[in-house]
Amino acid sequence: MSSPDQLQRVIFEQADIRSVISGLEQSYQQALANHQYPALINELLGQMMAAVSLLSATLKFDGRLMLQAQSENQVKVLMAECNHQRDLRAIARFDGELPEQASFHELLQGGQMVISIEPDQGQRYQGVVPLEGETLAACLEAYFERSEQLPTQIHLAADGQRAAGFLLQVMPAKGDSADEWQHFSYLAATLKDEELLELDNTTILRRLFHEEDCRLYEADALQFHCDCSRQRTANALRYMTQEELESIIQEEGSIEVNCQFCSERYSFDQSDITMMFSDTANIEGSDQIH
C-alpha cells in the first residue's frame, strides 16, 4: 500500500520531464465525513482533491489553488482547494437522485470549470478549463496543452476510501523534447486506477519506467484542514444590512452559520451584530475626521 496523504515530486534524470504523485486517505475521508454524498459524488470529489493536490505542486508562492466545476444539471457544484501547506478541503452540491454511474462529462455537460490561483499577496489568476474531455483528467490535460503549451498526462482515481493522482509533464522552458515525451507518455498511459490507488510510489515508477533513472523528492504531507473562522464568517455576513440581520435575530433568536466545508458552527446574537456595525461606524467616522 502506498503512503497515503502525501505528495511527491519526481524528476527524470535523463529527460526534461517531471512527475507528481499524490495519495489521499485520511484527508479524503475527513472531507467526506460531514456529508452524506452518494458514491458517485464521493468518487468525483476524490478526483477533484487528487487533482488540486497535484496542481498545488506547481505553486511557486504562498497561496491557494482551487478547482470549481458548476452546472445547471443535477450536480451544481464540485469544488476542491489545496494551499501551499498542502491543506485540502472540498465540497459538492447536487439536487435529487443521481444515477449510479455517469461520467464527469455527462454530469457537468453545459456547465463550466474554473481553476483559480490566489496568492496570499498579489494578483489572483483565473483560467477556464473547457469541459470537453470525458473525464476530469482529460479536461485538465487539455487545459495544460492549450493554456500553458505543456504536454501533460494526468491520471485520477478515487473509490470513496482512497484517492490518488499522477501527473506527467514536460518541464517548462526546456528544449525540444517531443520524442522523449512520446516515449514517457506512452509508458505512463498504461497506469491503471488500481495500481495508482494501491501501489507505493516507487513501485509505480518502476513498473511504468523501469529503464529510466528518476529522482524522488522528499514527500510533503497532505491533510484536511479548513481555514474558516468566526471573523471570516462575520465578514461574509456584512454583505447583508444591519436591518436584515436584526430581523433574522428577531425571528430566530440568533444567526447560525455552518461552514460548508467542515460543518463548524458559528453563532451570532444581537450584541455581535451591533458590534459588527459599530466597528464600521467608527472606521467611517475616523475617515471623515481625516
**Is 117 near Zn ion (CB under 5 A)?**
no
- Tell me the closest approach of the beta carbon of residue 66 to Zn ion, in angstroms: 15
Distance CA 102, CA 109 (A): 11
Binding mask 171-210 for Zn ion (x = CB under 5 A): ----------------------------------------
Closer by beta carbon to Zn ion, 153 or else 233: 233
**Is 228 near Zn ion (CB under 5 A)?**
yes
From candidates 49, 136, 226, 237, binder to Zn ion by CB under 5 A: 226
**Is 264 near Zn ion (CB under 5 A)?**
yes
- Tell me the closest approach of the beta carbon of residue 94 to Zn ion, in angstroms: 20
Tell whether the torsion through CA atoms of 228, 231, 235 and 240 is positive or negative.
Answer: positive
Contact 84, 112 (CB under 8 A): no
Closer by beta carbon to Zn ion, 78 or else 228: 228
Q: Tell me how crowded residue 248 is: count the other CB atoms within 10 A of its CB.
A: 16
What is the CB-side half-sphere exposure of residue 114 using CA atoms within 13 A? 9
> For residue 213, which of 205, 201, 223, 222 has the smallest C-alpha distance?
205
- Tell me the closest approach of the beta carbon of residue 263 to Zn ion, in angstroms: 7
Distance CA 283, CA 290 (A): 11
Closer by beta carbon to Zn ion, 140 or else 259: 259
- Tell me the closest approach of the beta carbon of residue 45 to Zn ion, in angstroms: 16
- Tell me the closest approach of the beta carbon of residue 114 to Zn ion, in angstroms: 21
Distance CA 84, CA 86 (A): 5
SS3 252: helix
Applying CB under 5 A, the residues found at the interface with Zn ion are: 226, 228, 259, 261-262, 264
